[in-house]
Structure 1
Amino acid sequence: MHLQQLAFSKIRGLNYSTGTALVGFRTFTNFGFDAAGEKVIFARVIGKVTPVEGVDLIIALPHKGDWERIYGWVIAENGRIVIDKDAVVSDVSLAIFSLVASVFLIFYVSSAIAIIGATILIVQGAIRAEAAFQWHDANTELKKTSTRIKNEISNH
């Protein structure tokens, strides 16, 4: 995971969209931005959040420059965390659902199609579980950053 500090100097094309997964729907916040001389055409945050211009942020990304998968951010001025916790719960819920459904298919429906379906559900469950772990790591890092900022504020 990568933490990057910046302030959006201009936000363009802010919109919210809904995407589908194999089971369930998910809301995304989509926008473009300018910051520190860099122009990003497309950025995406899972969940419905509102980016604000001119506010110093510490943004959690899976990798440097991976603006299409922003986990969330901390407002540097006050340490407030902006992250959609429902996205984490959604990934955990879907992982559990996928794994339980696959066990049901394997043990209670005996056919090649059931085995293929179970395999797909197991893979999907593993992907969702990995996403949930990544969100947990991002949330942990954002909490540490938030705590550090709040401590600095209280010490001044």
Structure 2
Amino acid sequence: MRKPASLVYVCAFMTPPDQSANDVSQHAVMAAGMAPSVFCADADAVGAMRINPASEEAAYRARLTETFFSATRRAPRPHASSRRSIATSPSVWRASLRRRPSAGSAASRATTFTVSDRAIPPAAQDFMIASVDSALGSKTHVQTLWASHSPFLSQPDKLAAALIAATA
């Protein structure tokens, strides 16, 4: 793998050209994923993908914690001045790369594979990595972390080491 000139850390789905996060989320490999169980409303109806970390419902907060923060001591508490829900536009969720990179132009890429992820199960992570590798004709550098969906909270030092290793 070529040493990258820079590194961008993105906490998101890794999708091949012509597929969106929404496409991947509806694939059979996501059946065990818990993320859909914490969406607060129909994205098409409200115009956003929403989760609500400030919910008053204890069962919902417990499911949110299990989905995204299972390896942390406790889920982060929303700041008092924060919005009551976190929203992502459905257009972002449904966006895909419309143009394939030309041969030899694809940048080096790396991902962290989070073994204990309940939001995006390991089978779905394998699927996304293999799909991108196939579509771009090159291998993704994979760093495995025994972490849940939020290694930046549960294992920040190991995540930092993985990101540094990706640039070595």
Of structures 1 and 2, the larger Rg is shown by 1
Point out the structure with the larger strand share. Answer: 1
TM-score by length of 1: 0.27
Point out the structure with the larger helix share. Answer: 1
TM-score by length of 2: 0.26
Answer 1 or 2: higher relative contact order, Cα 8 Å, separation at least 6: 2
